[in-house]
Homo-oligomer: A and B are copies of this chain.
Amino acid sequence: MADFKRWKEQRLARADVSRKGSVDEPIEGIVRLLNSHDRFCTTSSCSGRLVVLEQPPLPPSAEATTGFEIQKQNCSWLMVTHEICTIEKVLTALQRASDDALFKFEPFVLHVQCQELQDAQLLHKVAIEAGFRNSGITVGRKGKIMMAVRSTHCLEVPLSRKGKLMVSEEYVDFVVQVANQKMEENQRRIDRFYSSLQFALENQYHSSSLSFEEKEKSNAMHYYRRIKKSAETQKDECHSPGKNSGLESDHET
């Protein structure tokens, strides 16, 4: 407990090494709320963004298995926004492309170090309920417990090849509309996550003197009913013997 608290103080005192260098405005409340609790410490986050990036053409399949890693290192952002975006902004960014360029929606992602496994379980439950179905827990060799909030949502559309736009402006406009709708759905899920998080933390750590297990029990039926319900529309894996659980479903078709 004391160790985690000390470690957290050091961690939060560090400089922000991310490209942007600060927490995205749409999730400031979530980050502040989590860090106000002794048992949690956020380590990285992105509220969700629309990106135009360019990268060298993919290596021929014959090439080394590191092809994608190499490509990732050489890619550069031509546009990044954490808000709804316009076709003009995307087209302007594409004009600067000399390589293969693509337009991408990247959903909300949040990493939270947790003091104990039960804390990560609580966050995971809230994340799944809010619709972030690719969320998961990582337990390091030395017991470091990390909870990652992840979405199944994606949009990745190649637009330019060797700097030349391959599609019509009407198509770019349509793709921007689709991306903006995903950004809006992303924001709705963030809002859902924030409000259930407030409820869950209040209920778990502040209210009456019930033990963690007792409170878990009291929330469980409500939670599992919701998970079961969501699971029913999620049986889209290729192989899945018997009943599938909402916690097990990734592919969003």
For A167, what are the chain B residues with a Cβ–Cβ distance below 8 Å? 166-168, 171
Whether the pair A134, B150 counts as a contact (CB closer than 8 A) is: yes
| Copies of this subunit | 2
Which of under 10, 10 to 19, 20 to 34, or 35 or more describes the interface residues of A?
A: 35 or more
Which one of A51, A238, A244, A253 has the highest number of Cβ atoms from chain B below 10 Å of its Cβ? A238
Whether the pair A44, B158 counts as a contact (CB closer than 8 A) is: no
Whether the pair A138, B241 counts as a contact (CB closer than 8 A) is: no
For A141, what are the chain B residues with a Cβ–Cβ distance below 8 Å? 121, 216, 220, 223-224
**A21 CB to nearest chain B CB (Å):** 8
Whether the pair B166, A171 counts as a contact (CB closer than 8 A) is: yes
Whether the pair A44, B252 counts as a contact (CB closer than 8 A) is: no
For A23, what are the chain B residues with a Cβ–Cβ distance below 8 Å? 238-239
For the complex, give the distance between the alpha carbons of A138 and B136 in Å.
6
**A225 CB to nearest chain B CB (Å):** 13
Per-residue B-contact encoding for A98-120, CB less than 8 Å = 1, 0 else:
00000010100101000001001
Whether the pair A19, B238 counts as a contact (CB closer than 8 A) is: yes
For the complex, give the distance between the alpha carbons of A117 and B24 in Å.
33
Whether the pair A156, B156 counts as a contact (CB closer than 8 A) is: yes
Q: Which of A70-78, A85-93, A199-207 contacts B (4 or more CB under 8 A)?
A: A70-78
For A5, what are the chain B residues with a Cβ–Cβ distance below 8 Å? none
Whether the pair A53, B253 counts as a contact (CB closer than 8 A) is: yes
A44-B239, A239-B22 known; A58 and B181 CB under 8 Å?
A: yes
Q: Which of B61, B111, B157, B174 contacts A181 (CB 8 A)?
A: B61
Per-residue B-contact encoding for A155-175, CB less than 8 Å = 1, 0 else:
111100100001110110011
For A192, what are the chain B residues with a Cβ–Cβ distance below 8 Å? 65
For A209, what are the chain B residues with a Cβ–Cβ distance below 8 Å? none
Return the chain B residue nearest A53 by Cβ. Answer: B253
A228 at interface (Cβ–Cβ under 8 A)? no
Whether the pair B137, A58 counts as a contact (CB closer than 8 A) is: no
Q: Which of A13-72 contact B (CB under 8 A)?
A: 14-24, 31, 42-47, 49, 51, 53, 58-59, 61, 65, 67-69, 72
**A164 CB to nearest chain B CB (Å):** 11
For the complex, give the distance between the alpha carbons of A181 and B11 in Å.
39
For the complex, give the distance between the alpha carbons of A82 and B237 in Å.
12
Whether the pair B136, A158 counts as a contact (CB closer than 8 A) is: no
For the complex, give the distance between the alpha carbons of A120 and B117 in Å.
14
